[in-house]
Chains A and B, each alone.
Chain A
Amino acid sequence: MAEPPVEPIKYVDALVRLPYHYVAGDCRARYLRALKDKKILGARCSQTGKVFVPPLVNSPESLAPTDELVEIADRGVVTTFCIVNIPVIGRALELPYVVASIALDGADISIHALVQECKPDEVRMGMRVEAVWKPDGEREGSHEDILHFRPTGEPDMPRDAFLNRL
Chain B
Amino acid sequence: MSRLRNVAVVAFAQAPVVARDEHRMATEMLYPQVRRALADCGVERSAIDYQVAGSADYIDGRPFGFVGALEVMGSWPPTQDLHLEMDAAFAAHYAWIRMQAGDCDTALVCGHGKVSEGEPRRILNLELDPYYQAPIGLDPLATAALQASAFMARTGTTDRRLAEIAARNRAAGARNPDVQVRSSASADELARTPWAVEPLRTGYVPPLGESAVALVLAAEGKAERMCDRPAWIHGTDQRIELQTLGARDLSRSPSARLAAERALAMAGATSAADVDLVELSAATPVEELILCEALGIDADRSSPALNPSGGPLVGHPLMMTGLIRLGEAFRQLAGRAGDHAVAGARRAIAHATNGHCLQQNLFWVLGTERRWT
Residues of A within 8 A of B (CB): 12, 14, 16, 18-28, 56-58, 60-63, 65
CB atoms of A23 and B61 under 8 A apart: no
- What residues on B are CB-neighbors of A28 within 8 Å? 25
CB atoms of B74 and A14 under 8 A apart: no
- What residues on A are CB-neighbors of B70 within 8 Å? 60
CB atoms of B118 and A26 under 8 A apart: no
Bound together, the chains give a CA A12 to CA B134 distance in angstroms of 12
Within the complex, what minimum Cβ distance (angstroms) separates A48 from chain B?
Answer: 11
Bound together, the chains give a CA A24 to CA B35 distance in angstroms of 22
- How many positions in chain B have a CB within 8 Å of any CB in the partner chain? 32
Bound together, the chains give a CA A49 to CA B27 distance in angstroms of 22
Given contacts A12-B131, A22-B117, 19 further A-B contacts (CB under 8 A): A12-B130, A14-B135, A18-B58, A18-B118, A18-B123, A20-B117, A23-B25, A24-B25, A25-B23, A25-B25, A57-B27, A58-B31, A60-B71, A60-B72, A60-B75, A60-B76, A63-B45, A63-B72, A65-B31
Closest Cβ neighbor of A52 among chain B residues: B71
> Interface of chain A, helix or strand or loop or mixed?
loop
CB atoms of A27 and B117 under 8 A apart: no
Within the complex, what minimum Cβ distance (angstroms) separates B337 from chain A?
Answer: 28
B28 CB-CB contact with A under 8 Å: yes
- What residues on A are CB-neighbors of B74 within 8 Å? 63
Bound together, the chains give a CA A19 to CA B121 distance in angstroms of 12
How many residue pairs bridge A and B at CB < 8 Å? Answer: 64
CB atoms of B21 and A23 under 8 A apart: yes
- What residues on B are CB-neighbors of A22 within 8 Å? 25, 61, 117
CB atoms of A26 and B24 under 8 A apart: yes
Closest Cβ neighbor of B23 among chain A residues: A26
- What residues on A are CB-neighbors of B34 within 8 Å? 63
- What residues on B are CB-neighbors of A65 within 8 Å? 31, 35
Residues of B212-248 contacting chain A, CB below 8 A:
none
Within the complex, what minimum Cβ distance (angstroms) separates A6 from chain B?
Answer: 21
CB atoms of B114 and A23 under 8 A apart: yes
Contact with A along B28-52 (1 / 0, CB 8 A): 1001001100000000010000000
CB atoms of B131 and A20 under 8 A apart: no
CB atoms of A18 and B71 under 8 A apart: no
Residues of B107-140 contacting chain A, CB below 8 A:
114, 116-119, 122-123, 126, 130-131, 134-135
Task: Pick 28 A–B contacts, CB within 8 A, sort by A.
Answer: A12-B130, A14-B130, A18-B58, A18-B118, A18-B122, A19-B118, A20-B61, A21-B117, A21-B118, A22-B25, A22-B61, A22-B117, A23-B21, A23-B22, A23-B24, A23-B25, A23-B116, A23-B117, A25-B24, A25-B25, A27-B28, A56-B71, A58-B31, A58-B72, A60-B72, A60-B76, A63-B34, A63-B72
Bound together, the chains give a CA A57 to CA B123 distance in angstroms of 29
Bound together, the chains give a CA A5 to CA B316 distance in angstroms of 47
- What residues on B are CB-neighbors of A25 within 8 Å? 23-25, 28
CB atoms of B31 and A57 under 8 A apart: yes
Closest Cβ neighbor of B45 among chain A residues: A63
CB atoms of B23 and A23 under 8 A apart: yes
Closest Cβ neighbor of B27 among chain A residues: A57
Residues of B66-80 contacting chain A, CB below 8 A:
70-72, 74-76
Bound together, the chains give a CA A78 to CA B126 distance in angstroms of 44
- What residues on B are CB-neighbors of A26 within 8 Å? 23-24
Bound together, the chains give a CA A18 to CA B115 distance in angstroms of 12
Bound together, the chains give a CA A20 to CA B118 distance in angstroms of 4
- What residues on A are CB-neighbors of B76 within 8 Å? 60-63
Within the complex, what minimum Cβ distance (angstroms) separates B295 from chain A?
Answer: 36
Bound together, the chains give a CA A36 to CA B147 distance in angstroms of 53
- What residues on A are CB-neighbors of B126 within 8 Å? 16
Within the complex, what minimum Cβ distance (angstroms) separates A22 from chain B?
Answer: 5
CB atoms of B23 and A58 under 8 A apart: no
- What residues on A are CB-neighbors of B35 within 8 Å? 63, 65
CB atoms of A18 and B45 under 8 A apart: no
CB atoms of A19 and B72 under 8 A apart: no
CB atoms of B117 and A18 under 8 A apart: no
Bound together, the chains give a CA A24 to CA B28 distance in angstroms of 11
CB atoms of A57 and B28 under 8 A apart: yes
Closest Cβ neighbor of A21 among chain B residues: B117
- What residues on A are CB-neighbors of B24 within 8 Å? 23, 25-26, 57
Bound together, the chains give a CA A58 to CA B38 distance in angstroms of 15
Contact with A along B10-28 (1 / 0, CB 8 A): 0000000000111111011
- What residues on B are CB-neighbors of A27 within 8 Å? 28
